[in-house]
Structure 1
Amino acid sequence: MWLAALIALVAGCATQTVESPGLDPAKVQARIIHALPAGADDRAGWARDITAAFAAQQIEPNRSNLCAALAVAGQESNFQSDPAVPGLGRIARAEINRRAAAHHIPQLLVRGALALHGPDGRSYADRIAQARTERELSRAYEDFIGMVPLGRRLFGDANPVHTGGPMQVSVAFAENYAREHDYPYPVDGSIRHEVFSRRGGLYFGIAHLLGYPADYPSPLYRFADYNAGFYASRNAAFQAAVTRASGIPLAQDGDLVSYSLGERSNTELAVRTLADRLKLDDGEIHRDLSRGETAAFAATRTYARVFALADRLQGKPLPRATLPTIRLESPKISRKLTTAWFARRVDSRYRSCMTRMR
């Protein structure tokens, strides 16, 4: 409780201070203001919310960590708390039509449902067509799902807007994180709503970027993880080691196990072919690989023995981190982009920020 009270002070009044690991909050805010691009609006507000997020999560606000957070926010939103998405209404309507077709719902019925008027007096069709930001679209979907029977049939309880805010953080991640950690602000309706605010989007985005231990040789791999999931860069390097040891080509996507009941991933099947040489049984291999989204996987016998075998065959140590090879898929993306592209773009911003902060 004491930490939440202190965060409320720094978030609510720029003249108040809060204990923050390593540095005086006023100096942290000054560093951030200096590093923000010239065109950013409300620079003091951005600095205050970033400083509060670091303090709430007890993350050291050193130059590298601050620049990592600024680099992701710059890449994802250009420092817009609720960034506009070109063609968002068209994208949303296409998704509704796709789901209707999958449920064999006639378009006449869809158009009739969207013609109904919501709480703000506009039809759902108009609200969706006029939505410029994911916050506006998410609120329209919430009302449509909650008030129109066809909305629940199309979407169930799942709002199809999955990311939002200045760091484009996953709503599911934020909701899970808030269940296990004290959120330092009053919640405006729901954690989903908080994600679309500057303060909430930064808080949860910084947690996703920096709130887990990773012994990487460069922040580049954290940036890839931000896009692909915790430890994706470490796991992609492990998959490369499995390929070197077994000769079986694997996608270096960072996914070590299959989450479909009863199925085994290609990575697990490839490791199983090495079971005798690793002196491990299939059960232990599966248990170890199931820890792939945690720091604990690097301490397992499967991880250590695969790398020991691959290093010996290679004649030198293989990298323990590599950029995952993942194609980015989203209705918002019209170009052929990858996780590696994202990580390098963010890394370029990070390096520029580090230069400015000197």
Structure 2
Amino acid sequence: MFTVACASRAPASIPDIPPPPRLSVAQVARLLPAKVKGPEREGWARDVLAALDAEAVLPSPPVVCQVLAVIDQESGFQADPAVPGLPKLVRQKLEATAGKLGPLGRRVLDEVLASKAKGAKRSFGARLDAARTERDLDRLFRDMLAYYEEQYPAAYAAADLASSLFGPSSFAGQNPITTAGSMQVSVLYAVNKAGPDADPDAVRESLYTRAGGVRYGTARLMGFEAAYDEPLYRFADYNSGVYSSRNAALQSQVGRLTGIPLATDGDLRLYDKQGEPRGDDSQSLKALLVFRERHAPDLSERRVRKDVDQEKTAEFETTDTYLAVKRVYAKQTGQPPVYAQLPQVTLKSVKLSGEKTTAWFAKSVDARYQQCLTRHRQTAR
């Protein structure tokens, strides 16, 4: 007679899925393109890792390669990028603005350009002609603004129409440096990210350092959650605004359901130059209201408007309006609605030559991203 010892079987455990590898400074440095030489490689690597740590994002190979791809696209790894021909383009823009006032406007512009900042040796005009980098131009315009506010005769400015084009707010608006640094991050975004107590000029200056440019640019690229199945759409959002790719897909679906042609620019509302919503309705919002009437009468107009207010957030995907569009689209077309598509936005900047689009930008960055992944696979062997 044999005695068999029976033991209860432990439940099968689910194996832990290891997290993606966290890259070291040396590993990140090896992912940089060959054009970045010597100790600069380690410096860029350290700043990228610090920026990702600040956003609590794990520096895995795909994430690091996304950041490096944007840096490469936007500046070629230059902390303070030079922009060939920019002084000429800026002067042309100033002269065009002055030309709207005829001889009076040109006289005011000539007087301002002939002036100097306190303690400076060169006039504003000479500094403009000699400007080489973004920081040169940015500092010039900030000095011109300070000069106008402190030195230019207030009585003269108030007495004629010149104040409407060359007053402080107008001079600030003439500054061509709205994106800056190695990742060409929006200055407005960086100032808002720094918080209400931050000095805007100090934030601008930090963007021209390697650490600052990478810090704010990485936050802009990685600082939001989205269910994109590939980084291509995150690259597009970096250029045209958070959730632009998600919202462009929704615009396309609403356009198909209503028959109303919509620009798939990723903005369901209209915004001013400061990024604040305007009061008038966009074509996309009007189309959503038509969609509500035809396909989702249980949605109130008030609900649609409140939902659209969340278009720049992840929570927009949980709203009644977003879910209704997806549900009706699937039922009407028999096709699953895509989550994202490249927004169609034409880029306008004195720093760009020729016509460029957000789709062009995203695809160009994605090509650099793929090259970085290839370098990773080669160095990981």
Measured against the shorter chain, the TM-score band is 0.7 to 0.9
Higher alpha-carbon Rg: 2
Residues 244-255 of structure 1 mapped to structure 2, 5 A cutoff: 244-255=256-267
Residues 151-170 of structure 1 mapped to structure 2, 5 A cutoff: 152-153=167-168, 155-158=170-173, 159-170=175-186
- CA distance in structure 1 between the partners assigned to 2:34 and 2:316 by the alignment: 42
Q: Is the 8 A contact 1:50 1:202 kept in 2?
A: yes
How big is each residue's C-alpha offset from its partner over 1:60-117, in whole Å with a ceiling of 9 and x where there is no partner? 1011110000000000001111111110111111222233234664313311221112
Partner amino acid, structure 1, of 2:230? S
Gaps of 5+ in 1: 1-20
- CA distance in structure 2 between the partners assigned to 1:337 and 1:188 by the alignment: 29
The answer for the alignment partner of 1:292 in structure 2 is 311
Deviates further, 215-224 or 187-196: 187-196
Matching of residue 116 in structure 1 with residue 133 in structure 2 = no
Matching of residue 143 in structure 1 with residue 143 in structure 2 = yes
Q: Is the 8 A contact 1:225 1:233 kept in 2?
A: yes
The answer for the alignment partner of 2:285 in structure 1 is 268
The answer for the alignment partner of 1:301 in structure 2 is 320
The answer for the alignment partner of 2:32 in structure 1 is 36
Residues 1-358 of structure 1 mapped to structure 2, 5 A cutoff: 27-41=23-37, 42-102=40-100, 105-118=104-117, 119-148=119-148, 149=152, 152-153=167-168, 155-158=170-173, 159-179=175-195, 190-259=202-271, 261-276=278-293, 277-278=295-296, 279-358=298-377
Name the CA shift for 1:273/1:200 in 2 (closer, same or farther; >3 Å).
same
Name the CA shift for 1:103/1:23 in 2 (closer, same or farther; >3 Å).
farther
Q: What is the TM-score normalised by the length of structure 2?
A: 0.82
The answer for the alignment partner of 2:6 in structure 1 is none
Name the CA shift for 1:22/1:312 in 2 (closer, same or farther; >3 Å).
closer
Q: Is the 8 A contact 1:96 1:154 kept in 2?
A: no
Name the CA shift for 1:189/1:289 in 2 (closer, same or farther; >3 Å).
closer
- Identity of counterpart residues, as a percentage? 40
- CA distance in structure 1 between the partners assigned to 2:108 and 2:211 by the alignment: 40
- CA distance in structure 2 between the partners assigned to 1:351 and 1:39 by the alignment: 17
Give the CA deviation at 1:289. Answer: 1.0
Name the CA shift for 1:103/1:65 in 2 (closer, same or farther; >3 Å).
farther
- CA distance in structure 1 between the partners assigned to 2:324 and 2:348 by the alignment: 34
Q: What is the TM-score normalised by the length of structure 1?
A: 0.87
How big is each residue's C-alpha offset from its partner over 1:126-176, in whole Å with a ceiling of 9 and x where there is no partner? 111111111110001111110133764473555442111000001100000
Name the CA shift for 1:261/1:191 in 2 (closer, same or farther; >3 Å).
closer
- CA distance in structure 1 between the partners assigned to 2:308 and 2:331 by the alignment: 22
Partner amino acid, structure 2, of 1:115? A
- CA distance in structure 2 between the partners assigned to 1:79 and 1:66 by the alignment: 14
- CA distance in structure 1 between the partners assigned to 2:200 and 2:322 by the alignment: 43
- CA distance in structure 2 between the partners assigned to 1:333 and 1:130 by the alignment: 19
- CA distance in structure 1 between the partners assigned to 2:300 and 2:216 by the alignment: 39
Deviates further, 238-247 or 220-229: 238-247
Give the CA deviation at 1:296. Answer: 0.9
What is the RMSD of the two structures over their aligned residues, measured on CA atoms?
2.2
Aligned length: 332
Deviates further, 342-351 or 92-101: 92-101
Partner amino acid, structure 1, of 2:170? F
